[in-house]
Amino acid sequence: MDKPFPIRIRTFLVPLAGVALYYSVQVLAILPVVLIIPRTDDISSHVGLHIFFVALLMGMFLSIWLFAARRSVLPTIRRERLSVRKSLTILPIAMTMLALASFYMILIALIAKYIPQIDELLKNYTDRSTLNTQSGYDTILYYVSVGVLIPVIEEIVFRGIILGEFLSTMRPAVAVIMSSLVFGGMHLQPIQIGYACMCGLILGFVYLYSNSIFLSIGIHCVFNIIGGVLQDVFSDNKPLLLIFFAIEVFFIAFGVISFLFLKKGYRNKVIREG
């Protein structure tokens, strides 16, 4: 395995640039939404259109960044081709992440009963997470963006570029922890930071162990499609949501086995390469 370089200025500039780009695009994407929607419409009711433009602009600026820094940044993104066995770990690990996120939210809900500040933060998170759209196309754009486009972009930025930079200057475990803190902190909403850090930690180790951005992208997409899209579609069907949760819990054992399989492959590779 490659030995890390000493920590350098770009070790701090790369994550700052990634987060700055992420939030700059969030603001910039408001402009095309304002130009497209009728003046009488509330922009908050066009979440899907906004997040779609966020994905498009982020993809455009990200492509420019990767092209301009193709000799320094692009090589840090690990793109090993996935084997069939590694591909089979996508669903179990994604479902395990969903189960852990569900347990986290249950714990927060219990704590909120006794701490008013946490209860207020939880209500704020629930309000922000509720999809408020005025049209079918806006809802479709939201689902496509949340389920596919945003996961791909976030993985390239936070695992491929930011974690890639950390791995080139730090010990692997430290690099993954640092990247998960950046990923979690980027979400800003206090309730969301907790499970975002946890997911960032799992995705970071998956990326490290598999040596492939494609695996972390696959897991992130499945996580968002099931946990974001499907659970929103069936939000009024409580029995079905309970079935989703039961399936998530059922997959935990398979998720742990899948994670250990990736870890074993990584260790064997480290031994072979000295």
Q: Alpha helix locations (H) across 29-115?
A: 30-36, 47-68, 84-87, 90-112
Buried b (16+ CB within 10 A) or exposed e, 125-146: beeeeebebbeeebbebbbbbb
Does a structural domain hold residue 1? no
Pull the structure tokens for residue 47. 């979440």
CA distances from 83 to 67, 90, 121, 195 (A): 28, 12, 42, 29
Pull the structure tokens for residue 263. 């870890």
Sorting pLDDT into bands at 50, 70 and 90, what band is 67?
A: very high
Q: How far is CA 218 from the centre of its chain?
A: 11
* pLDDT for res 137: 86
Residue 115: name the closest of 191, 197, 184 by CA. Answer: 191
Indicate whether 234 pLDDT > 80. yes
Q: Residue 190 burial (CB < 10 Å; 0-12/13-18/19+)?
A: middle
Q: What is the mean pLDDT of the chain?
A: 91
Does a structural domain hold residue 61? yes
Does a structural domain hold residue 4? no
Residue 33: name the closest of 43, 41, 45 by CA. Answer: 43
* pLDDT for res 45: 81
Does a structural domain hold residue 3? no
CA distances from 220 to 1, 234, 253 (A): 26, 20, 19
Does a structural domain hold residue 63? yes
Residue 231: name the closest of 67, 98, 120 by CA. Answer: 98
Taking only the tens place, the pLDDT of each residue in 154-212 is: 999 999 999 999 998 899 999 999 999 999 998 878 899 999 999 999 999 999 999 99
Domain that holds residue 29: 9-273
158 neighbors 182 (Cβ within 8 angstroms): yes
Q: How many domains does the chain have?
A: 1
**Cα(first)–Cα(last) distance of the chain, in Å?**
7
Beta bridge partners of 79: 212
Mean pLDDT of 122-139: 80
Sorting pLDDT into bands at 50, 70 and 90, what band is 3?
A: low
Does a structural domain hold residue 2? no
